Structure 1
Amino acid sequence: MEELRDRTVWKSDPHTQVKHLVYRHYLQCWMGKILQRFPEATIVDAFSGPGIYTDGPPGSPVVVAKTFLEHTAYQRFGRLNLVCLEERADRVEELQRQFAKLPRSPQLQVTVQPPGTFAEQQPRLSALAHRGRAETPVLWLVDPFDLKSAPFSLIRQCLAGRRDEVLFTLFTNELHRFCQRENFDKTMTPYFGGDHWRAAVAERRAGSRKEAFAAAYQQGLKSQDLFTGSFGIKISNQSARYHLILATHSDAGLKCWAPVTWKLDSYSGQGASADTADALSLFDEASVVDRLDVALRAHAGTEQRWETLSSQAARLNHMDKHLRQVLDNLAVQGLAFRVDPVRARSAWPEGCTVRFYAPGDVADEAS
């Protein structure tokens, strides 16, 4: 990491490529939903970098711009304001050169800020992103070089507006390696916004501890009444190098997040490596919907609208197809019935109402 700090442009790595794949998939959905509903929206890349790697792949701000320009619904989009911040002047100059190579579009407004740090510039970036309108949707990409550059207090500021979202790179590998180092708690506590990270230290295995740190960070977000998702970026069968954390004010944001995670990791929807992203799984997904099955069974004795069930599935990082899969299984056991509409072309159409029963309700009294 220190070596990268000394260079204007550096070589890409597999972790970065998977991360940018997540970005592209999420942006495809986010842009499709937001830019066809609102006349204007903003994406802030708070640690933009030079926009290019020495071996050719584009950096994150160029990935955002190209995703917008190449989107199939581009002609129906409102305006996207892309605001980029980079600390070093040489990288700012290179980023401007990279943007100059892209096609011009009246619907895409790119603003490369003068060199500056995220901590100093966040309030100004927020004002610029919202353009004086609190309702303007803003997506923050926060991918710092180190833990100290993006404390939880800054992430919370990025989420001040009710249509603000953050996609944050959580350095779980560094957290695992250094969490027991003397005085490192002075870095950890501001990073998490509290000392709830300490419970994760008890985990001894690298993979388990990293996942526990990701869960602890999400715990902090949930305490702010935010919805959150997590996805591990790893190499081959190793534990995650870091996690991408989504924070949003609405479970509608999770409706974009879940398909991304399941597309890149079709077995668990929890993490992808460079050699498994976009690969087909050899496993049956039934084993990973257990939490959703338990959650639906808890509705025994009640009727639930499809919208409620779909939102519940999204909060558990599942898609509607998983919800239908679990409902099919419960229906076979006599534990779930569609009560409205009476007639439909599919078993569980959007807008339907489902009544749930407990196993005791369907027990054979004669047995």
Structure 2
Amino acid sequence: MRRAEELKERTVWKSDPHTQVKHLVYRHYLQCWMGKICQTFPEATIVDAFAGPGVYTDGPPGSPVVIARTFLEHSAYQRFNRLNLICLEERPDRVEELQRQFAKLPKAPKLHISVQPPGKFADQQSRLSALAHRGRAETPVLWVVDPFDLKSAPYSLIRQCLAAPRDEVLFTLFTNELHRFCQREGYDKAMTPYFGGTHWQAAVPERLGRREAFATAYQQGFTDQGLFTGSFGIRISNQSARYHLILATHSEAGLKCWAPVTWKLDRYSGQGASTETAGAPSLFDEASWVVDRLDAALRAHAGTEQRWETLSGQAARLNHTDKHLRQSLDNLAAQGLAFRVDPVRARTAWPEGCTVRFYAPEDVADESF
């Protein structure tokens, strides 16, 4: 039986490598998200909008169980407040299986699991949003949206998931399918609502990098509306990305969790992972070289003073961590292009809250008089 038929006909199906990499991204991101959110707010919510049966025939857990276990097994669990996990699945047989899988987990008063009656996400999003926020718009809500096809999660629906100020979305973008079918006659009727506009068309001419261009185009819809966003390609072996995970958030703090995850799983570029690179140690753990894009961004500050918070936010938007920022600053300082001007004394070269002055190469050139 082909995989598409298996997903359509069976209650539970076999796992595959790219799903395992995706769930690894989930776990790493949730480790950071929960560590920040569940200790700061009295309660938070995660909505798994396409929950599935919660298990695969060969044993690995599905995304709802991955989320629950990450919470229960977190090193900071004792300091956590309440987490609501809301799961929606369209098929009744899979809802029943998901309930059986959750019944196997230990009872925990801090984790409230709600498996919803069978239903389609498009029909239930408004109700789920009210349930997730529990009457408080400031409640943090993370929407995990991993549909089976394009039509189940148009851009307008994703934007509804970002209506409240502390909403975040982790969305599976089918970049490989978009790459393969974008030039077929009539496919634009599916593409435009999926992207929320025609800006996807700019990616079509990019034959070699078309998948990544589609991810960039999708993210553009968020940045145009003042949101912060990141992406990560899921590959198998050395093949092109099968799909991308897209993060959309109202806060740079979300990117502060996202960037370390992507660099941990992809030791070369922080842009994608395969079964070969996932979990491998990052080159940044030992190497001293810095990322050119971040280095160039910092050099552009020549002639100005910048607060650490500004520099850290800029690094996060470029998908880099504070560790990368400090390495880049070390590199510039060695060339006389960056100096910490405040505080005068510090235990480390670039402490949080410091102020950095930048210079241009011509400012430090050795001139003869």
TM-score normalised by structure 1 residue count: 0.97
C-alpha deviations, 1:296-344, integer Å up to 9, x for none?
1111111111111001100000001110111111111111000011111
Residue 280 of structure 1, CA deviation: 2.9
Aligned residue for 2:199, secondary structure, equals coil
**Alignment map for 1:17-28 (pairs within 5 Å):** 17-28=20-31
Residues of 2 paired with 1:351 and 1:184: CA distance? Answer: 50
Residues of 2 paired with 1:303 and 1:238: CA distance? Answer: 44
1:280 and 2:281 correspond? yes
State which of 45, 49, 52 in structure 2 corresponds to 1:46: 49
**Alignment map for 1:215-230 (pairs within 5 Å):** 215-230=216-231
C-alpha deviations, 1:9-46, integer Å up to 9, x for none?
00000000000000000000000000000000000000
Specify every segment of 5 or more residues in structure 1 that has no aligned partner in the other structure, as ranges.
none
Any runs of at least 4 consecutive aligned residues in structure 1 with deviations exceeding 6 A, and if so which?
282-288
Hey, what does 1:68 align to over in structure 2?
A: 71
Task: Kindly indicate whether the alpha-carbon contact (under 8 Å) linking 1:267 and 1:285 is maintained by their aligned counterparts in 2.
Answer: no
C-alpha change, 1:97 and 1:141, in structure 2 (3 Å) is: same
- Larger deviation: 39-48 or 272-281? 272-281
Specify every segment of 5 or more residues in structure 2 that has no aligned partner in the other structure, as ranges.
none
The residue type paired with residue 74 of structure 2 is: H
Residue 347 of structure 1, CA deviation: 1.1
Hey, what does 2:249 align to over in structure 1?
A: 248
Task: Kindly indicate whether the alpha-carbon contact (under 8 Å) linking 2:264 and 2:282 is maintained by their aligned counterparts in 1.
Answer: no
1:136 and 2:139 correspond? yes
Hey, what does 1:337 align to over in structure 2?
A: 339
Hey, what does 2:322 align to over in structure 1?
A: 320
Aligned residue for 1:189, secondary structure, equals helix
Task: Kindly indicate whether the alpha-carbon contact (under 8 Å) linking 1:267 and 1:288 is maintained by their aligned counterparts in 2.
Answer: no
Aligned residue for 2:39, secondary structure, equals coil
Aligned residue for 1:257, secondary structure, equals helix
Residue identity over aligned pairs, in percent, reads: 84
1:357 and 2:359 correspond? yes
Hey, what does 1:311 align to over in structure 2?
A: 313
The residue type paired with residue 245 of structure 1 is: I
Task: Kindly indicate whether the alpha-carbon contact (under 8 Å) linking 2:308 and 2:354 is maintained by their aligned counterparts in 1.
Answer: yes
The residue type paired with residue 45 of structure 1 is: D
Residue 282 of structure 1, CA deviation: 6.4
The residue type paired with residue 56 of structure 1 is: G
1:77 and 2:80 correspond? yes
Task: Kindly indicate whether the alpha-carbon contact (under 8 Å) linking 2:141 and 2:166 is maintained by their aligned counterparts in 1.
Answer: yes
Residue 169 of structure 1, CA deviation: 0.2
Residues of 1 paired with 2:161 and 2:104: CA distance? Answer: 30
Hey, what does 2:238 align to over in structure 1?
A: 237
Residues of 2 paired with 1:266 and 1:3: CA distance? Answer: 34
C-alpha deviations, 1:94-115, integer Å up to 9, x for none?
0000000000111110000000
TM-score normalised by structure 2 residue count: 0.97
C-alpha deviations, 1:176-208, integer Å up to 9, x for none?
000001000000000001110101100112xx1
Task: Kindly indicate whether the alpha-carbon contact (under 8 Å) linking 2:89 and 2:120 is maintained by their aligned counterparts in 1.
Answer: yes
Residues of 2 paired with 1:281 and 1:48: CA distance? Answer: 31
